[in-house]
Structure formats: structure tokens, C-alpha cells
Structure 1
Amino acid sequence: MPPESTENPYVEEPPTEFEPVESLDETEAREQADLLREAIRYHDRRYYRKADPVISDRVYDALFARLETLEDRFDIDSADSPTQRVGGEPVDEFETVDHVAPMLSIDSTEDADEVRNFADRIEREFDGVSYVCEPKFDGISIEVVYEDGQLVRGVTRGDGREGDDVTANVRTIRSIPLQLSGDYPEFLAVRGEIYMPRDAFQAYNRELVERGEDPFANPRNATAGTIRQHDPTVVAERPLDCFFFEVLDASREWESRYAEDETLPEFGLRVNEHTTRVDDIEAAISYRDDILDQRDDLNYEIDGVVIKVDGRAEREALGSTARHYRWAIAYKFPARTEETTVRDIAVQVGRTGRLTPVALLDPVDVGGVTVARASLHNPDEIARLGVDIGDGVRIERAGDVIPQVAEVLDDGDGHFEFPDSCPVCESAIERDGPMAHCTGGIACDAQLRESLVYYGSDPGLDIDGLGERTIRQLLDTGLIERLPDLYRLDADELAGLEGWGERSARNLIEAIEATEEPPLADFLSALGVPHVGPATARELAREFGDLDSLMGASVDELESVDEVGDVVAGEIHDFFASEANRAVIEELRNEGVEPQSAEMSGGDELAGLTIVFTGSLDEYTRSEAQELVEAHGGSATGSVSGNTDYLVTGENPGATKVEDAEAEDVERLDEDEFEALLADRGIDPT
């Protein structure tokens, strides 16, 4: 029974219904907040360091939410409160600070005889040497400093003498206590290894793959990329963990490294359960072989073991070189090569909706490159290989570049079943031969970036200032998460982004607002409906007149439109039949976007004429020229056929259209001749 349980009601079977905050005075609020902090620290220790929780996640969340409410309402937050782990303000750069004590590197070898030579040198100077053996974690070394039991600094290893102050990021890692427990020393600087657990790494990579983003190559890269994030809230969202294994400096002394390992858990500092002490170097070598056998069953990456002299007195006498300790050696494992295990299979959703299955692997060396994923190409390839989660496989790099599963080594039963719905948006999956595509379109988050870029491009609504770089920044900062969020952007928030000012922010807002009443054809093209470019969008707008009529059209009605065949008609129908897509369109309308009906504003002066444009015109964009023709009753198509009356050519015309016009005996007009045609028909384009 924990010592807190007799006085703290939130430790064992805690209540989750609380009296209204309004009924508390500040003294009562402070008392309750102190009890909640104490209890949450206890539950964190049980969950993150002992893997033995005593309450459910739901109860924990209720206690945490109550503490947040009290701290916010009464302004009583504290630096060591568990609520401070959610992150802080971003920083522009990390400050470089000196280490309390040098964090040197360790000599390494894969040769057992070199390990024996290491021991011989030591044992010539000292009798009865014991060694501490521990896994060599493949993560990021960190110095964590406590004063009066409170975490005051976290510093990366850097060059061993100084490193980056990443305290704000370290504070978000729940296995690193903000406040020590037990009989801790007044000052304590301890070395640890931050890492990403293997199961968490695979889950995180799966999310990246499904969103169409590049996954991390291995857990170490994921850890390094996370701990150096300038925004602590990003770090707080990623699954980092930590083991501690060395006291760098303290206001208390220990006689041996193993004695440290026995004491650190009393302070709430997590140590590794596989650390042990042995009496001779042969036992240390056997330890390495035993850990190698267990390697695949551990939930963290290791690349060997570290063998250290246990006694403090012997360590101090041995000292160090300028770069490494003389009292430790790393006995490394051989690299995994070519053969590995499939830990998961994720289905990646590309920017165009194409689905690609990806095998997430235990990292393996293939031709000198660490590989943690491999393409499975398509559902038919999965069936051909017979590959499933948990299978042993052989990996090769196709063309010495792209990793792929070449062979399944385990002859298991069956294979991975390809999903029927998109893993990102749950829309139906459409099969086209061996290929598979998500039908989610604008409602699929994995396709969002490409959808946004296209929406603001020239074939879409031509929003000035909304290029790919801007879209990436808006997504990365969380200002937009869905297409309709474009119309919810705030000029002040935009102006606060890097590279923005009040004028540029206002210009973009005004450019977006100017698209709230787009021509129906432009809006249809901007949505990125499969196979619907500007020319087809104009035909659809002419045929159906308004958006609601088009959204309710049957496949047969769609197929009757010029340039729309049966396959395209089915794609258009499915796009507008999707509840998710319709919801996005409804959101856009709620934000004031109302496509304008395709009405012939200038009459029917060009009725019966079909005109194609190619090349660059001086007075019009191609889209403007096409809209002008259609506004006066003509048809502006994207390709030349026997029904075409005129091909209008500007600078650098397309060779194919010119050749087709010659073959079909279609009359060619330059821009001046096109304007003369308009004038002859009584059309004033101004």
C-alpha cells in the first residue's frame, strides 16, 4: 500500500465526481490541487515506471482534468505540476550550456577478445574487479539535473562537454519525474537515454504512412528528431520514454555503479531491469550473448551491451581520455542484415488517393542502409508473396534504391487482408486491376495538402498567395485542418507566423474572400473531382446550371454530357454521393462559399460554335477566354475534334492540337482574329 493512500483520497479508488469549483475558496482549491498532484505523480510512477497501473485511463483523465481546472480557475499552477507536461511556448533556438560533468563516449567492439583485453588491462591494476552489465540503448543521451528534488535542466549530450538546453522538451516525457520522491539528495545530475519504444514507434510510423508522409527510418531517428523540436507541444504528443543509468554528480556519494542502480528507483528514476553485476569478464560476455537472444523480444532498440567497472574508486583511478572512459566498453551486436520481421502493415494514402501497402519492419541493414519499411506495392503483390504481420522476410533494395519485400521466410497461413475502406477517412476503396484508390477526395486528410494546393491553383480558384509553401505552413501550424478552414483564417494569427506581416496576411485573406462566389465551373474544377478538369467542369456547369442539380444527377444524366464517358460519369457520381464529400461542400457553403449558376450573361451570340484554345494569349488567360465563349452561348472544349469550328492559337501553341486541327481541317485563328470574330458577332469583351 502506498504511503499516500492513508491521507490522499485520489490514490486508491479515487472519486471522479467533484464538487463545483465555484464552491471552493482558494485555500480549499490549493489543498485539493496538492493532493491531486501527489496522486497523479504516484499513478505516473505506477504506469510509466512500473507498468502496473492501479486506476483506469478514464479515472486518470478525470483527476488530471480536475487539476487543470483548479490551476486555471485559481491561478495556482506550479513548475512541478503534472499539468506542465503538455508543453510550453516554442523557442527560436536552443541555448548551449555546459554539462555538470563530462558525458564522454565509450569505446566499442564486436570482438570478444577485445573485451577480454579491456578486462586484462584493468585487472592488472586491481584485484577482484566486478563489472556492471547493461543494455546499450539506441536512443539519445541526456543529462537531467535536479535541485532540491525539482527538475531544473535537461541537456543533450552534444560534444560531451556542452549540449543543447532542451529542458522544456524533457519536461513533457512522463517517465522523467518533475519532482523526485523518497530521500533524494539536494543536488543530483544523472545521465539517461531517451528513446521511443518499438511498439510506439511502429504505431507512430503507421500514422505517418497512412497520411502519406515519410516515416522515420528507425526509433533513434524518431527520438532525435523529436527531442530537438522547437515546439514542446509537439514533443508532448510523441511517445518518448527514458532509462537512467549513471550518476554524473550529486551531493551524495555511492560506492559503486550497481549501488546507484538500486537507489535511483527510490527517487522515481527508472532504471533498466536487465542491468546486472557480474564477477568476471567471461560472465559479462555471456550476458551479452543472452541479451542478444532476447533482443527481438524487447520493446526498445539496443545495439549491444555496455560493460562497466562497478567500483567508484577503481573508476576514478582509471579516469578517461579526452574522448572516452577507460572503465567502460561497449560490446556491440552484429548488424541485422537483409532478414527481419514484419511488425505491422500500413496502408499509405497518397496525395491522389492511391493506396500503397507498406511493411513496417524491425530496422535492418541492407547494403549499408538502415531500412525500417518496405513497399508491398499493391493488394495483388501481398497475395502473391503471402505476407502477413509477424512474418520473417528477406528485404532487398530494388535498383539499389527502393526497399521491398523479396521473399517471405516463414510459411504461415494466409496473408494480410487489404482493407475495404480508407484507413484515414474510412471512405470506400475502389479497385482498378491491381491498384486501389480512396474515394474520399476532399474529405480525406491524407489528400488534404494536394487538395488545398489544387483548390488555390490556376485550374482551381486561382487564389493569389496560396501556393504549396503557404499551404504546408498553414497545415504544419494547425491553422487549417480541413478545406473549409481556409475561410476561417484570422489575419492576426496569420501575421504572427514566420515570414508574414499584417499586409501579407490581409492580402491572403482578401484573396480567399474574393472566391466566395466563384463561377460554378471554377468551383467544380477546384474541388478536384476525379477526371474533372476545367474543360469538363465547364461542360458540367453548362448542362446542369447549378451545384445542387449536378450533385443530384444520376450516372445516366452525367454520361449524356459532352466529354463525359461512362467511367468518368461513375467517378463524378460517386464523388458527390460520398457523405464525407457532401459534408465538406456543406461546410464551405456555411462559410459563405456559394458557386454561381452557369447562366449565359451575354446572350447566345456564339451558339453552335465550338472553340479550342492553345498557347498563351495576351489579353486573356485561357480560362477567361473559355468562360467568355461559354457566357455567349458557345462551347469551349479542351481538345480538337471533327466538331471543332475554330482553334485559337497564342504563343507556344501545343503541337498536338495544331496537328489535330490540320488533320480535321479546323480553321485556325490568332488572338487578333479571335477578337475580330467576337466583334463580328456583336460581343464587346470589355
Structure 2
Amino acid sequence: MSENIQKKIEDLREELHQHNYNYYTLDEPTISDFEFDLKLKELQELEKNHPEFYDSNSPTLRVGGEITKNFPTVQHQFRMYSLDNSYDFNDLEDWEKRVQKALNKPVEFVAELKYDGASISILYENGKLKEAVTRGDGFQGDEITPNVKTVSEIPMQLHGDFPDRFFIRGEIYLTRKNFDKINKRREEEGLDPFMNPRNTASGSLKIQDSAEVRKRGLSAVLYQYISSEFPAKTHWELLQKAKSWGFHISEQAKLCKTLDEVKAFITHWDTARHQLGFDIDGIVIKVNDLSQQRSLGYTAKSPRWAMAYKFKAEKVETELEKVTYQVGRTGAITPVANLKPVLLAGTVVKRASLHNEDIIKKLGLHEHDFVFVEKGGEIIPKIVGVNLDKRNPENPEIQYIKTCPECGTELVKIEDQAIHFCPNELHCPPQVVGRMIHYVSRKALNIENLGQETIEQLYREKLVENPADFYALKKEQLLPLERMAEKSAQNIISGIEKSKEIPFEKVLYGIGIKHVGETVAKKLAKNFESIDE
């Protein structure tokens, strides 16, 4: 009987690995998502009832759930070098001359997109994912295997004629679509949005709960086979083999016979990158022949057989229409430049970050200036300069506001800090509402169905003015509100009741005491049992 169960489990695992390969590598799914989920649930149930057949590479482990308190440091068997950068075609031509002089032979290249994410090195043994390690300092990195296993595009079981043991390197990244989803959730929970997909992807890999990593929707591309022995003579052949084994390889990579073909590839993607669903910050060019790579070797920091071409940040000119000011949950005032809409890096830009008064003074902004806007690694583009030739001398210099734009209270500026604050924390609407949004957020009390819009509505109707007011709400008070169905009202009341059982550390974090983040809240909760204490 147990042999039949074991065979059923192994057959299901093999089938699901194949479906993952079809979906993520070949882009040719053969069953629906619904059918896949049914098979996955069946396997989960079988594994739950028969733990004796545990496999660390089972497809069920993609969902995460493993908690890692500390990520152990692991030495890289093969050092992870950084790449030399070039910023124009002259740099590339000089590099090609050095390569040809060293080899005295014809050279062909592979050109690949330079994904903007977090580098990773993954060890495979006997076709199974054994260990995944971050780049770190190139000599050693953090072992984050459980988190990497949640990335669907990284296979846990290989197919075909793969070698017994090798490393493969690649990039973990976030698509713009998934990055926007994460930030939308954060804003609904009253949290600050993340600044860019690259840092968010890197930070996600260090989350202690792999189930939370899974929710981020990370993607991966693999681009470099590493071993002491190679099952091919060129890098291009290795890429094709890696794809046949189950790895997600960049579809845009191109074999180039000459540097002119490389230049054409760069020119194309310098513009076409805006149509991609993910960020790239350049092109990587590698010598294709592996024996030539070995001959060229390495400098102290970089391989001589590879070069990164970095795209310049795009910059456009547009008119500054006005400067407005936003008030955050903590009372911090953030100035924002409202611009005449202009196309930048594939999107229409209407606003740019000004951060604080010092930035405005440094730029010397006047009303209706024509400004240069650049989109770097931030969500909101930034102003990097002013076109003084177009300035109307009659337009006055922009003066930073003295009073809060929401409640009229005189602003304060703490010495040695760049930001102005509104001190009216008890009655300034954005601060009051912001604290309540923070209180119900997932990391705090996690009160479901109480989003930003609902809280703003409750505040406008004078039903709540602080988190304590949530606990006095009655369903009868909610029902008359616009777009409030009976089921929604009941769910809100149920969520509030449920929050009474939340651990004390979450309450401490949720009430928004200055300088009390998650870590401090945990320490306080360990030493004190109540707010009074």
C-alpha cells in the first residue's frame, strides 16, 4: 500500500514539475491554472498524510511557509565578479580592441539585457535545486534557498541531459505589474510605497517568512553556467542547453558576429526597453567562445571577456505649473512639483519629487520655470535642473510654505533635519487619518475590510477620530454610508472584534508612537505587559 502511495506522490511531483517547465520555460501550458491547482492540492494532502515521503524539492514547497531567523553566510566556490561599465560606443570599441589584441583571433559576442534586480547563484546537484546564495561581496553571500524556491521561474527539478553538479547564475527581479500591485497593497495598509523594483526584489529575498516572499511575485532570469567543466564550447550553446534543462533564459539575448551587430542591439533596446514589462539598465556583452573567455581571464574585479553598456537616465524638459505640499502620517511635509504632462521613459509624467526645502533652494526654482526631469530609480521622477534661458524674470522665486496646507498650523523644522513638520498631530486630518490607516494595516492590527477609503469616509462622517473609536462602532452606524452593503458592514465589525486578540506587540506598533517600529515594539512587548506599564 505504502509503495502505491509513494509512487502516486512521485508521479504527481514529476507531472507538476513538467507543467511548471511547460508554463515558465516553454510558455506552452498544457493544462489550465485551475487543473494545476487541483493537482497541487492533491499532492499537498498526500504529503501531509505521508511525511515519510518528504522531498525538499517538491512543487508544493513553492508556496513557502518556512521561517528563517538568520541567513547563514556561504563562501562562493566560484567568485561572483562585477562587470566593467561602458557608457558610449567608444568605450566598447576600446574594449573590443583589447580583446582582439589579447586573442589575435576573430571574436563573436552574445548580447543580453541587463536586468535590474538582485544577483543570485544557485547550485544544482543531480538535477535538483540544492542551494541558493546572494552575491554578497562576491566572495561570500547569504544562503536564501527557501525564499528562492518560491520563485516560479526557477526550476526545482531539471529535465534532459544536465550535468551532475553545476552552478547557474541569474537575476531575481520584479515586473512593473507586480511592483505596482505591492505598492497598491502598501498604500491601502497605510504604509509608504517602495521606491523601485530593484531594491524591492533584493529586500524581498531577505524576508524571514518564505510564504511572504511568495506573495511578492518575484521573477527570475538565468544567464550564466558556472563549473570547472563545460558541456559546450560557447556561451550561446550553454544558454540553449540551460533552456532545455528547464531554466528561464532571456528571450531577447542575441548572438552577434560583429561589434556593429552589438551596437545595433544596444540602439534598439535603448528605446524598446520601455515596452518591456520589467526594468533593464543596460546591455551585457560577452565573448561567446568559452576557450577565449579562459584565455582572457579576469582583472582583480572583473572578467576581461565581458562588458556592461549602461543606458543613460532619460531626461526631458517641461514647464513647472505649481508646487503643492503633502502631509504624511507623521506630520512630515513633502513638496511635489506639478508639471505640464510630458512623455518620459515610456510613461506620461505629471509630477516630480522635490523632497524638502533644501532641494527647492538648491535648484533655485521660480514659478513657471522650465525644468529638466529625469527618471532614475524612483517611482516619482525628479527635477535635476532648470533651463535659465527660458525663465521669465518677472516670475517670483518659490517660497516654502510657513503653515500646514491642511490645517493652517505653523510648521516647525527640527534642527539638523531637512524636513518641516506640522505639530498639530491630534487634529490635522491627514495625520489623524494616516495613523488610523497605519493602525489597521497588515503589520499592525490587520483589520480586514477597513481600507483607506472606508476610514476617510468614517472620519468625514465624524464616526472615528482615533483608533479607539473603531471599537465603539456599530453595524447600524455603517449601513447608511455610501456604497456600504450589509455584508461589508458585518465584515468590518467582525474584523474589529477579531483584532482584540492580536498580540500586544502589534498594538504597540499600530498606535504609531514615534520611533517605535516593529523591532522596538517587540522588545517593549517582551518587557511590559500593558500600555500603562
Q: 1:48 to 1:484 in 2, by over 3 A?
A: closer
Letter in 2 for 1:280: T
What are the within-5 Å matches in structure 2 for residues 55-94 of structure 1?
A: 55-75=31-51, 76-94=53-71
1:393 aligns with 2:371: no
Contact 1:182–1:267 (8 Å) recurs in 2: yes
- Which residue number in structure 1 is paired with residue 247 of structure 2? 269
What are the within-5 Å matches in structure 2 for residues 296-375 of structure 1?
A: 296-338=274-316
Q: 1:93 to 1:339 in 2, by over 3 A?
A: farther
After superposition, what is the alpha-carbon deviation per residue over 1:266-296, rounded to whole angstroms, capped at 9, x for unaligned? 1111111111221222221121112223211
- Which residue number in structure 1 is paired with residue 122 of structure 2? 144
- Which residue number in structure 2 is paired with residue 122 of structure 1? 99
After superposition, what is the alpha-carbon deviation per residue over 1:340-398, rounded to whole angstroms, capped at 9, x for unaligned? 9xxxxxxx99979xxxxxxxxxxxxxxxxxxxxx9799xxx9xx9799xx862354334
After superposition, what is the alpha-carbon deviation per residue over 1:603-653, rounded to whole angstroms, capped at 9, x for unaligned? xxxxxxxxxxxxxxxxxxxxxxxxxxxxxxxxxxxxxxxxxxxxxxxxxxx
After superposition, what is the alpha-carbon deviation per residue over 1:134-181, rounded to whole angstroms, capped at 9, x for unaligned? 111111111000111111110111111111111111111111111111
| Cα drift, residue 253 of structure 1 | 3.7
Letter in 2 for 1:122: V
SS of alignment partner, residue 105 of structure 1:
coil
Letter in 2 for 1:97: V
Q: 2:227 aligns with which of 243, 249, 256?
A: 249
Q: 1:151 to 1:529 in 2, by over 3 A?
A: same
Q: 1:336 to 1:147 in 2, by over 3 A?
A: same
Q: 1:451 to 1:34 in 2, by over 3 A?
A: same
- Which residue number in structure 1 is paired with residue 196 of structure 2? 218
Q: 1:396 to 1:386 in 2, by over 3 A?
A: closer
Letter in 2 for 1:162: Q
Q: Matches of 1:26 and 1:339 in 2, distance apart?
A: 71
Q: Aligned-pair RMSD on alpha carbons?
A: 4.4
1:294 aligns with 2:272: yes
Contact 1:144–1:190 (8 Å) recurs in 2: yes
Letter in 2 for 1:83: T
Q: Matches of 1:96 and 1:282 in 2, distance apart?
A: 43
- Which residue number in structure 2 is paired with residue 166 of structure 1? 144
Letter in 1 for 2:3: T
Q: Matches of 2:473 and 2:313 in 1, distance apart?
A: 60
Larger of the two Rg values belongs to structure: 1
- Which residue number in structure 1 is paired with residue 411 of structure 2? none
Q: 1:481 aligns with which of 425, 428, 446?
A: 446
State the TM-score, normalizing by the size of structure 2.
0.67
- Which residue number in structure 1 is paired with residue 19 of structure 2? 43
What are the within-5 Å matches in structure 2 for residues 581-592 of structure 1?
A: 581=489, 583-585=491-493
After superposition, what is the alpha-carbon deviation per residue over 1:528-548, rounded to whole angstroms, capped at 9, x for unaligned? 7853689xx99xxxxxxx998
What are the within-5 Å matches in structure 2 for residues 471-550 of structure 1?
A: 475-476=442-443, 480-482=445-447, 530-531=461-462
Q: Matches of 2:62 and 2:464 in 1, distance apart?
A: 48
Contact 2:341–2:348 (8 Å) recurs in 1: no
After superposition, what is the alpha-carbon deviation per residue over 1:495-525, rounded to whole angstroms, capped at 9, x for unaligned? xxxxxxxxxxxxxxxxxxxxxxxxxxxxxxx
| Cα drift, residue 107 of structure 1 | 0.5
- Which residue number in structure 2 is paired with residue 194 of structure 1? 172
Contact 1:227–1:235 (8 Å) recurs in 2: yes
**Number of residue pairs aligned between Structure 1 and Structure 2:** 412
Q: Matches of 1:533 and 1:236 in 2, distance apart?
A: 35
Q: Matches of 2:137 and 2:28 in 1, distance apart?
A: 37
SS of alignment partner, residue 202 of structure 2:
helix
Q: Matches of 2:483 and 2:309 in 1, distance apart?
A: 61
| Cα drift, residue 64 of structure 1 | 0.7
SS of alignment partner, residue 314 of structure 1:
helix
1:99 aligns with 2:76: yes
| Cα drift, residue 193 of structure 1 | 0.9
Letter in 1 for 2:310: K
Letter in 2 for 1:198: R
Q: Matches of 2:316 and 2:260 in 1, distance apart?
A: 30
Q: Matches of 2:138 and 2:350 in 1, distance apart?
A: 38
Structure 2 unaligned residues grouped into runs of 5+: 319-325, 361-368, 371-405, 407-431, 451-457, 502-533
SS of alignment partner, residue 70 of structure 1:
helix
Q: 1:453 to 1:331 in 2, by over 3 A?
A: closer
1:132 aligns with 2:134: no
Q: Matches of 1:59 and 1:43 in 2, distance apart?
A: 11
- Which residue number in structure 2 is paired with residue 228 of structure 1? 206
Contact 1:106–1:330 (8 Å) recurs in 2: yes
| Cα drift, residue 400 of structure 1 | 7.2
SS of alignment partner, residue 158 of structure 1:
coil
Contact 1:452–1:483 (8 Å) recurs in 2: no
Contact 1:212–1:349 (8 Å) recurs in 2: no
Contact 2:473–2:493 (8 Å) recurs in 1: no
Contact 1:133–1:278 (8 Å) recurs in 2: yes
Letter in 1 for 2:462: H
After superposition, what is the alpha-carbon deviation per residue over 1:426-455, rounded to whole angstroms, capped at 9, x for unaligned? xxxxxxxxx9xxxxxxxxxxx99944988x
Using CA pairs under 8 Å that are at least 6 residues apart, name the structure with larger relative contact order, 1 or 2. 2
Contact 2:112–2:283 (8 Å) recurs in 1: yes
Q: Matches of 1:401 and 1:392 in 2, distance apart?
A: 23
SS of alignment partner, residue 74 of structure 2:
strand
Q: 1:72 to 1:113 in 2, by over 3 A?
A: same
| Cα drift, residue 585 of structure 1 | 3.7
Q: 1:232 to 1:318 in 2, by over 3 A?
A: same
Q: 1:45 to 1:530 in 2, by over 3 A?
A: same
Structure 1 unaligned residues grouped into runs of 5+: 1-24, 341-347, 353-373, 408-434, 436-446, 455-470, 486-526, 539-545, 553-570, 594-686
Q: Matches of 1:385 and 1:119 in 2, distance apart?
A: 42
Q: Matches of 2:438 and 2:289 in 1, distance apart?
A: 62
Contact 1:338–1:396 (8 Å) recurs in 2: no
| Cα drift, residue 581 of structure 1 | 4.0
Q: Matches of 2:87 and 2:473 in 1, distance apart?
A: 69
Contact 2:341–2:350 (8 Å) recurs in 1: no
State the TM-score, normalizing by the size of structure 1.
0.53
SS of alignment partner, residue 124 of structure 1:
helix
1:204 aligns with 2:135: no
Letter in 1 for 2:196: N
Q: Matches of 1:178 and 1:209 in 2, distance apart?
A: 34
| Cα drift, residue 34 of structure 1 | 1.7
Contact 2:447–2:499 (8 Å) recurs in 1: no
Contact 1:338–1:394 (8 Å) recurs in 2: no
Q: Matches of 1:219 and 1:375 in 2, distance apart?
A: 22
| Cα drift, residue 61 of structure 1 | 0.9
- Which residue number in structure 2 is paired with residue 664 of structure 1? none
Q: 1:451 to 1:95 in 2, by over 3 A?
A: same
Deviates more, 1:199-208 or 1:224-233: 199-208
Q: 1:254 to 1:268 in 2, by over 3 A?
A: same
